[in-house]
Structure 1
Amino acid sequence: MSVWPAYAEIRFADYGEDFDPSVERTEMERGVPKQRLLNTDVLQTIEASVQFRSAQAVEDFERWYFIDVKRIGWFSMEHPRTGEPINARFRNGRIGRLQPLNTLFRFAKRDLVIEYVRAPQ
């Protein structure tokens, strides 16, 4: 399995987490709606900006994305908030639009969404 590249730095200024709780809700004719769990595991998402400190890092990341991950593959990485190892992938295989942060792409970023399966606690 491929590993998240060290030169792709996750920026915490644009960071967010969310998950699908995997719950089915049924409205009742009277009274409180019923709810039930659909799955024990949930799909967690991490929305983040990834910063590159050189034009070469931008090229290396694209090469890693196309060749190693093959756009939809899984990769291992350290969870940005907890430091726990996770196996993740890019949601819908997208890595977001490349945005220069200064001239000649010496600094650049991509806004992307990473997803992984979160096991029950």
Structure 2
Amino acid sequence: MAAFPHDYVRLSWTDSADKPAPIMLRSEMERGVPKQRRIAADALTEVPVTLFFNTAQAAADFETWFYSQGLAWFDFTHPRTGTVVQARIVGGDLGALTPATGTWARSKRQVTVEYLRAVL
């Protein structure tokens, strides 16, 4: 299985978040307390991250990795827990490459990574 290229891509810690999808279905009642029932065993969790590239070559290498291996599931070290999870980039949306400084020598792009989090 492919692995996320952590050796030449840095992740931003400031805008990262863990957002699990709901695993419960809530039904409002005409009267009384709303009912809830579980609809999923695992929570699909999204982690938005900003990827930083210190060189133009690193940005090009990441695009090569993404189009050759990163479109499917890959090993990803979770930025909060440090554990390796099976992840993918949501919708294959690579995001726009933007300059991180006044030149393209350093650049960044925002992506959202998703993985299944076991809740049981």
* TM-score normalised by L of structure 2: 0.93
Q: Distance in 2 between matches of 1:16 and 1:82?
A: 12
Q: Distance in 1 between matches of 2:11 and 2:17?
A: 11
Partner secondary structure for residue 15 of structure 2: strand
Aligned to 2:86: 87
Partner secondary structure for residue 97 of structure 1: coil
Structure 2 stretches of 5 or more lacking a match? Answer: none
Q: Distance in 2 between matches of 1:108 and 1:17?
A: 24
| Matched length | 119
Q: Distance in 2 between matches of 1:88 and 1:119?
A: 13
* TM-score normalised by L of structure 1: 0.93
1:102, CA displacement in angstroms? 2.2
After TM superposition, list the pairs within 5 Å mapping 1:1-121 onto structure 2. 1-5=1-5, 6-69=7-70, 71=71, 73-121=72-120
Q: Distance in 2 between matches of 1:60 and 1:44?
A: 27
Q: Distance in 2 between matches of 1:87 and 1:45?
A: 12
Contact 1:55/1:104 (CA < 8 Å) preserved in 2? no
Cα-to-partner distance string for 1:6-62 (whole Å, 9 max, x where unaligned): 211111122122110221111111101100110110001101101000000000000
One-letter code of the match for 1:61?
F
Contact 1:44/1:116 (CA < 8 Å) preserved in 2? yes
Partner secondary structure for residue 16 of structure 1: coil
Q: Distance in 2 between matches of 1:9 and 1:108?
A: 11
1:116, CA displacement in angstroms? 0.1
One-letter code of the match for 1:117?
L
1:104, CA displacement in angstroms? 4.1
One-letter code of the match for 1:18?
K
Contact 1:8/1:50 (CA < 8 Å) preserved in 2? yes
